[in-house]
Structures are given as structure tokens and as C-alpha cells.
């Protein structure tokens, strides 16, 4: 968190496949009532909804693959399109539709960021296909020859570049074996090695690299320290489940679950998923640190406050997703929630290191202990939800949507817990000597210098292409949808927090894909509202108005 606007409350980080596209509706290929959304630049379809196929007894996977094969020209895929996809996941959604997510491949190699999400109803009818694919790979000169560089050489190149970038060789906690991918950028495509390096010294990092598999050139690199992955897991101590009390960062008293044995009270909640665990870094920079242990199950010491809040707010975020969206932890599969507090000295940051949350104490001026804000914790853990669903690329417009989704649910969790709820982000821990300010305002993003309309979006390269800056566009739309109001001459009728939450959750988990931009985001959110409330509903009208009010058409 080097600057206010660049506060790194984020998880996924990557390179965007394409720039923004406008809403263009083309003639559908099957159902006369179907709607097809086409990327203005690539001229390829990125969203189609309707009765796209006839009823079938075939598997949902085969129905989707057959559709892509028949409509390969629509997607600019080339012949044999069905063979160019690998199933990522298949599951029933909350409406009983079968959701299939497919990874695009080329010659068996995954295309970075190219995923489609499709839905098949109970009658075997394909009802939607969402997501932009990399078109015309068969024509790309950069893919005419395969990899010429060996994977170990790519790793050496990336590590040398990383060492130069951070000033000294990192002390690696883990590294991911090089993976061959198709890397697409600016209309060009090449085979590249994808590599990842995780470390805490000399500074926290979880760097992603792409190295050209032909000439060894570093194509892209970025710190994705907040990207969530499945934790390897920790073992809970034996003992008895208990309920403790303690005071948080702001001095308020809370109750929370612990595990008590002959050693004392551990900050371990075994009643939620596979457990919630809170550790003490003791102002060092090693994680997870020491599992928090208290003598009497009463956590009232000042030093306890950061741990009390981290533990309690992780549980409240878990409860929100479980109770409101039937989602078991961030991955939907009861993943452990692990937190470390008192990380470093005067550390003005909070991050996800790949398997757990880490919170600094702040310097007392810019921040107080960052675990003291429920919306910060829920924001971070929502990035983990995003990473395990839409996996929005953390750059440019897809990254701004990623950031905004976390702001939206950070706020909604705060309302759900009735924890001094408002439409501000991080106000409880930011600049304690300044009353009324916050990191961001969703009601009025311009208070922090962020745009509240698409026409005013930031188009530079800073802030990873404006991921925090341009999140204000979506934040304002969400605020208007929940609360109503008139903006840029467009009046939006309020639908309340609960319906807003349901619509955005369905948008995120069912329709957004890694390369979604604002144009795709709008049609995806309209479709999510249509699924839940009907095409002619007041809710759909409000969603359309909210996006129109912020200039996304």
C-alpha cells in the first residue's frame, strides 16, 4: 500500500488479452430471439444467450462442444474447434442449470486467459455461452513453430530478471514449474513459459513471468502476491470447541470461536469449513508464524486486538458467503482460512501470499492494524472467490472489475454483519487522525480522484492499467443499483442490497471470464438479473439503468 490510490487490496494479477469493446449486437446463428454480443475490435463473439440448440440427451459437455464446432466461424476458431477446448469445471448452478467452463487450447497448449462459461438447461438446451476467445490462432506467425527454448533456461532468465527487479536474489518459499502456454497480446501470439516465484524476502512477492519459448525474451512480469490458490492446509490442535471474548483494534468487544486444551486457548475455529486459523508473526516477516495461544480464553490485551479482528472477520466473511450464497469458503470447497497478524514493523499493507492472509500493523499514521476493518478482510477474501470462479485478469478493465467486485462484496459483508456499514472502503483503519475519509467511496468515487463514468476512465499504464482507479465506474453502478439515484441524467430505481448481491454474485460466478471488459460485464450482469428475476423485471431495468448511468452501454 504505497499510495492511497494504489492500495493493493487485490489477489489476481495478469496480462489482459484485449482492450475495451463496445456493445454490438449481431444477427444470431440459431434462435431468432437470441442476442449475440460481439467484440468491436476482434469481431469475435463474447456473449450469446437464447435457446441456442434443440433439446438433447447428450452430455452438457458434448452439447457445448458441438455448438462451438458448428459455430466456429462466429468465434473465428478454425475447423476442428471442439478439439481446442478442455473442460475446467462442470457444476449445477443455483438455478439448476449445468455450468460448463472450458479452457481454450492450441495444439494442446492452454491459451492464457481464454475461457468460456456455458449453461445447459434440464432439457439439454444450451442457453448461453459467455467469454472472449483468442481468435484466428491458426493464422498467427508466432505459433508456426513450437518451443525452442528449454524450460530450465526460461527459469534462469526469469530469475535473473526478478533479481534485478527487486535488487537481490529472492529467498524462494516456492516456485511453480515452467508451464508452456500460448501468450496473446496486442493481436500477436507466441508460445511462452509461464513461471511463478513466491517469497517474503527481501520483500513479499509472488511473481508471475512469461518468457518467450523461442528467444527467451521476458514478455511480461508482475507481482501477483494476492492471487489465491488452494492451501496445503494446517492441522488443527486437539481440544474442545469454545467461545472466547476479546477486544478488537478499535476497542470493541467480540465473541469468537476457539479451541481449548491443556496448553490454553488457540485461535482456531473448527466449526466453519476446514477451519479458521490465526497466527502471530511477532513483527517478523515469516509466515504463518506461531499459532495464537492465550492463557484464559479472554483476549483483552492491546496486542490481541489485531488477532481478534482477523479471526472474527474471517468467520463473518465465511458466514456471509455460506448463508447468502451457499458458498463454502472462498473456493466453495471449505478451504481453510489462515491469517497472520503483526507482520513486520509499521507495515502499511495487507496481502494474500498465495495460501493465507497477512496483515501489517500500520505505522499509526497512514494505517492502524489493517485487520481492524471488516470490509478490508472481506475485500481480500472476495478476490479469492474471484480467483476460483471468473479468475479475472488483474490488469486494465478486467482488473478494474476484479477490484470493484471485491469492493462491492466487502461492503455487502459489512452490511450483513451490521458492522457500522457504509459505502466507504477501509475507513476504519485508514488515517486514524483524519475523520470521515476512506480509501475509496463507492457513493462518490470522485472524492478520491477516481472516475464515476466510463467516459472519464483512466487509459494509462499506471496502477496496472487503472485497476483501482477505474473500479470507481463499477462501484458507482453498484451503489446506484442498491440505493437508487440520478447520475448523468439517468435515474436508477433502487433494488436494495440483497438483490444487488445476488445479481453480482451470479454475474461473477456464472458469466464473467478472465478477459471480461466493461462491455461484457454489462451484458453479463443484465443476464444474471434476467435469470433471477425475468427479462421484463424491474430488477433488469435497474441493472440496465445503473450501467447506462456510468456510461457503459
Question: Closest Cα to residue 215, out of 150, 292, 291?
Answer: 150
C-alpha cell at 113: 486467459
Cβ–Cβ < 8 Å for 155, 195: yes
Report the residue count for the chain: 553
CA distance 376 to 348: 13
The alpha carbon of 193 is separated from its chain's Cα centroid by a whole number of angstroms, namely 23
Q: Is 468 a catalytic residue?
A: yes
Neighbour-count burial of 235, counting CB atoms closer than 10 A to its CB (0-12 exposed, 13-18 middle, 19+ buried): exposed
Nearby residues of 156 by Cβ (< 8 Å), 6 or more positions away: none
Nearby residues of 401 by Cβ (< 8 Å), 6 or more positions away: 392, 471, 474, 512, 516, 517, 518, 521
Could you say which of 37, 84, 379, 468 is catalytic?
468
Nearby residues of 102 by Cβ (< 8 Å), 6 or more positions away: 64, 65, 68, 85, 86, 87, 88, 115, 116, 118
CA distance 31 to 51: 6
Could you say which of 132, 196, 227, 380 is catalytic?
380
Cβ–Cβ < 8 Å for 260, 239: yes
Nearby residues of 164 by Cβ (< 8 Å), 6 or more positions away: none
Which DSSP letter does residue 372 get? Answer: G
Catalytic site residues? 380, 468
Amino acid at each position: 500500500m504505497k499510495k492511497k490510490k494504489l492500495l493493493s487490496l487485490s489477489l489476481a494479477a495478469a496480462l489482459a488479452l484485449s482492450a475495451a469493446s463496445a456493445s454490438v449486437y449481431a444477427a444470431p446463428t440459431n434462435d431468432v430471439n437470441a442476442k449475440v454480443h460481439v467484440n468491436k475490435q476482434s469481431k469475435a463473439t463474447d456473449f450469446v444467450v437464447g435457446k441456442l440448440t434443440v433439446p438433447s440427451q447428450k452430455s452438457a459437455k458434448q452439447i457445448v462442444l458441438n455448438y462451438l464446432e458448428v459455430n466456429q466461424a462466429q468465434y473465428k476458431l478454425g475447423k476442428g474447434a471442439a478439439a481446442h477446448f478442455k473442460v475446467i469445471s462442470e457444476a449445477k448452478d443455483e438455478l439448476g442449470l449445468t455450468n460448463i467452463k472450458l479452457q481454450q487450447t492450441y495444439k494442446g497448449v492452454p491459451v492464457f486467459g481464454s475461457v468460456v462459461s456455458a449453461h445447459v438447461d434440464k432439457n439439454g438446451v444450451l442457453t448461453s455461452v459467455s467469454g472472449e476467445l483468442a481468435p484466428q490462432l491458426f493464422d498467427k506467425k508466432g505459433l508456426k513453430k513450437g518451443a525452442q527454448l528449454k524450460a530450465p533456461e526460461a527459469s534462469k532468465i526469469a530469475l535473473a530478471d526478478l533479481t534485478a527487479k527487486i535488487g537481490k536474489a529472492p529467498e524462494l518459499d516456492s516456485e511453480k514449474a515452467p508451464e508452456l502456454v500460448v501468450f496473446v497480446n496486442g493481436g500477436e501470439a507466441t508460445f511462452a513459459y509461464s513461471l511463478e516465484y513466491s517469497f517474503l524476502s527481501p520483500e513479499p512477492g509472488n511473481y508471475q513471468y512469461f518468457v518467450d519459448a523461442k528467444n527467451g525474451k521476458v514478455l511480461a512480469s508482475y507481482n501477483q502476491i494476492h492471487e489465491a490458490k488452494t492451501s496445503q492446509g494446517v492441522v488443527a490442535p486437539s481440544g474442545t470447541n469454545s467461545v472466547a471474548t476479546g477486544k478488537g483494534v478499535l476497542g470493541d468487544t467480540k465473541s469468537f470461536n476457539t479451541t481449548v486444551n491443556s496448553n490454553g486457548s488457540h485461535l482456531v475455529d473448527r466449526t466453519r469449513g476446514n477451519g479458521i486459523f490465526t497466527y502471530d508473526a511477532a513483527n517478523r516477516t515469516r509466515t504463518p508464524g506461531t499459532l495464537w495461544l492465550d492463557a484464559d480464553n479472554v483476549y483483552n490485551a492491546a496486542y490481541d486486538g489485531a488477532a481478534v479482528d482477523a479471526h472474527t472477520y474471517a468467520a463473518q466473511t465465511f458466514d456471509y458467503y455460506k448463508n447468502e450464497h451457499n458458498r463454502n469458503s472462498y473456493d466453495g470447497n471449505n478451504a481453510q482460512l489462515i491469517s497472520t497478524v503483526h507482520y513486520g514493523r509499521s507495515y502499511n499493507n495487507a496481502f494474500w501470499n498465495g495460501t493465507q492472509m497477512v496483515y501489517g500493523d500500520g505505522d499509526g499514521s497512514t494505517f492502524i492494524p489493517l485487520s481492524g476493518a471488516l470490509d478490508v478482510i472481506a475485500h481480500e477474501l472476495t478476490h479469492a472467490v474471484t480467483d476460483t470462479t471468473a479468475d479475472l485478469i488483474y490488469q486494465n478493465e478486467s482488473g478494474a472489475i476484479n477490484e470493484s467486485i471485491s469492493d462491492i462484496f466487502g461492503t455487502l459483508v459489512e452490511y450483513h454483519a451490521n458492522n457500522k456499514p457504509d459505502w466507504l472502503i477501509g475507513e476504519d483503519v485508514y488515517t486514524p487522525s483524519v475523520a470521515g475519509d476512506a480509501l475509496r467511496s463507492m457513493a462518490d468515487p470522485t472524492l478520491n480522484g477516481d472516475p464515476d463514468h466510463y467516459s472519464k476512465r483512466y487509459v494509462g499504464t499506471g496502477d496496472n492499467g487503472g485497476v483501482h482507479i477505474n473500479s470507481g465506474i463499477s462501484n458507482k453502478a453498484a451503489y446506484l443499483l442498491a440505493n437508487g439515484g440520478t447520475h448523468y441524467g439517468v435515474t436508477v430505481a433502487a433494488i436494495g442490497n440483497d438483490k444487488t448481491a445476488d445479481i453480482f454474485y451470479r454475474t461473477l460466478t456464472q458469466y464473467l471470464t478472465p478477459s471480461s471488459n466493461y462491455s461484457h460485464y454489462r451484458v453479463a450482469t443484465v443476464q444474471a438479473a434476467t435469470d433471477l428475476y425475468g427479462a421484463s423485471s424491474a430488477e433488469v431495468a435497474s441493472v440496465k439503468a445503473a450501467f447506462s448511468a456510468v456510461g457503459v452501454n
